């Protein structure tokens, strides 16, 4: 029985004056376009701060992105722990009633 493969399609984005063709799943396209737009905004902001070297600018963007990812992961874990504790508390209240 054949399985249905997810069809990827090409999406063209432009970052720092360079066009890229990226194959993406249709539901991912909006995220790819938003990421390219945000990356260009960040490059423009860094250029205004005097960082003209594209390599340095890309490194800063990547570094900041990783820091934000790690922060978000930690916040997500803390939220999960808090929700789990609340569910246990509610379960205790319900089962003791």
Give the CA angle between residues 82, 67, 30 to the nearest 5°.
Answer: 90
* pLDDT on residue 3: 54
* pLDDT on residue 96: 87
Convert the pLDDT of each residue in 28-58 to its tens digit.
999 999 999 999 999 999 999 999 898 999 9
pLDDT surpassing 60 at residue 4: no
- Please provide the average confidence, as pLDDT, over all residues in the chain: 92
| pTM > 0.75 | no
Q: At what angle do helices 54-96 and 29-48 cross, to 10 degrees?
A: 130
CB atoms within 10 A of CB 14: 11
- Listed in sequence order, the residues at least 6 apart from 59 whose beta carbon sits closer than 8 Å to its beta carbon are none
Q: Which residues pair with 15 in a beta bridge?
A: 18
Give the whole-angstrom CA distance, residue 87 versus residue 63.
Answer: 36
């Amino acid at each position: 029985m054949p399985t249905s493969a997810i069809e990827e399609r090409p999406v063209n984005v432009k970052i720092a004056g360079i066009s890229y063709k990226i194959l993406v799943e249709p539901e991912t396209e909006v995220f790819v376009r938003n990421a390219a737009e945000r990356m260009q905004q960040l490059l423009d902001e860094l250029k205004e701060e005097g960082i003209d070297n594209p390599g340095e600018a890309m490194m800063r963007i990547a570094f900041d992105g990783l820091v934000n990812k790690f922060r978000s992961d930690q916040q997500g874990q803390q939220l999960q722990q808090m929700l789990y504790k609340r569910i246990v508390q509610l379960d205790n209240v319900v089962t003791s009633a």
